[in-house]
Amino acid sequence: MKKFYCFFPLLLLLACVIAGCSNQEKDTQVSDEPIELTISAAASLQDALEELKTTYEKEHDTITLLYNFGGSGALQQQILQGAPADLFFSAAEDKFDALVKEDMITANQGTDLLANELVLVVPKTNSKQIQSFEDLAQADKIALGTPESVPAGQYGVETLKNLNLWEAVEPKVVYTKDVRQVLTYTETENVDAGIVYKTDALVSEKVDIVSTASDTMHTPIIYPVGVIKDRPHAQEAEDFYQFLQSAEAMAVFKKYGFKGVH
């Protein structure tokens, strides 16, 4: 019995050392686990943001960027209803401002970053010989983002109304879930023409830009981006938010046809 009592403290010490090492290993494993940031972004940003994802993850090996692309209005509603998002990158100021108003984005953690243009595109065949917005009278089907949830659709309706074309064009409109679907419908000749952002048209080899809407015909196309409040990885989200404003990131955005606001 005496031998057991002498040996017991040694067993206890050994157990504590092993437990301590085990906890240390767990702490190390936790700290090495990648942090996932979810960015809800307008569909028109897809190509530029995918390239920036590669660059950013290479420079930050503990960060994984998860994108949720779609129409800005739909994304705004998802966030309002509790969908996880660390940043919101909108193609319209009103959709972004709605989240600021709901105190989900702090004003000083949001900025108007990019600008875009609205263009009319046609399939390469252009069987209806459409060369301008006025020529849409010759079209049978015209693709347009759903105005309530897709800013490009909203800008398109504004443009057509200001050109006094909406009443004639409206019955021909095929509505889509986002601006990229407009591009797809036009590329595949399911429609005779579509209204998209210039940046979308530039990434496609299957459509031609036949006309650019005047800036005076629609609300300015501004892309605000901001950090969503009260998320678990606030500092990492802030870091990526700052990266999006860097000269390196802006060079990529401009390569895809975006313009800087400032």
Model confidence pLDDT, tens digit, residues 199-239: 999 999 999 999 999 999 999 999 999 999 999 999 999 99
How many angstroms separate the Cα of 226 from the Cα of each of 83, 107, 134? 16, 8, 38
pLDDT of residue 2: 45
* CATH number of the domain that residue 248 is part of: 3.40.190.10
Query: What total number of domains does the chain contain?
Result: 2
pLDDT of residue 122: 98
Domain contains 197: yes
pLDDT reading at 12 higher than 90: no
Domain contains 15: no
- Helix 247-255 / helix 234-244 crossing angle, nearest 10 deg: 60
- Tokens coding 6: 């002498």
In this structure, the answer to whether residues 172 and 46 fall within a common structural domain is no
Domain contains 8: no
In this structure, the answer to whether residues 192 and 239 fall within a common structural domain is no
210 among the known binding-site residues?
Answer: no
Domain contains 150: yes
In this structure, the answer to whether residues 127 and 213 fall within a common structural domain is yes
Nearest residue to 46 via CA among 235, 257, 243: 257
In this structure, the answer to whether residues 161 and 212 fall within a common structural domain is yes
In this structure, the answer to whether residues 242 and 209 fall within a common structural domain is no
Domain contains 234: yes
211 among the known binding-site residues?
Answer: no
Distance CA 125, CA 120 (A): 15
pLDDT-derived band at 4 (thresholds 50, 70, 90) equals very low
90 among the known binding-site residues?
Answer: no
In this structure, the answer to whether residues 170 and 50 fall within a common structural domain is no
- Tokens coding 207: 């459509």
In this structure, the answer to whether residues 99 and 176 fall within a common structural domain is no
In this structure, the answer to whether residues 168 and 201 fall within a common structural domain is yes
Residue-number span of the structural domain to which 247 is assigned: 35-115+222-260
In this structure, the answer to whether residues 184 and 208 fall within a common structural domain is yes
pLDDT tens-digit series, residues 25-64: 444 344 467 899 999 999 999 999 999 999 999 999 999 9
In this structure, the answer to whether residues 57 and 110 fall within a common structural domain is yes
152 among the known binding-site residues?
Answer: yes
Domain contains 58: yes
In this structure, the answer to whether residues 155 and 135 fall within a common structural domain is yes
* pTM of this structure: 0.83
In this structure, the answer to whether residues 155 and 93 fall within a common structural domain is no
DSSP conformational letter for 34: P
Domain contains 152: yes
